[in-house]
Amino acid sequence: MENVSVFEMQRNNPVLAAGEPRADFHDEAEQRLAAIAASGKTISWSEMRRYLDDRLAGRAVARPASRKPVG
């Protein structure tokens, strides 16, 4: 069963009903995955989580650096 607000948005917006935003989302995901595969660099979840928690707390923090996994 769909969320009522999603149903209403799809019913009232032909672009959403056609699934175009979902296709854009998948295209963006494919591009990001290709970039990760090409570079081999990622950010660990623990580093990203700490970064996001700090940002939510209002602290000015540098973005975590991406790096190739060891091992």
- Please, are residues 15 and 21 in contact by the beta-carbon 8 Å criterion? yes
- Mean pLDDT per 10-residue run, the chain (71 residues)? 60 64 86 94 95 97 91 68
Full-prediction pTM beyond 0.85? no
What does the CA dihedral 20, 25, 31, 36 come to, rounded to 10 degrees? Answer: -170
Q: Given this model, what pLDDT does residue 32 score? A: 92
Q: Given this model, what pLDDT does residue 17 score? A: 58
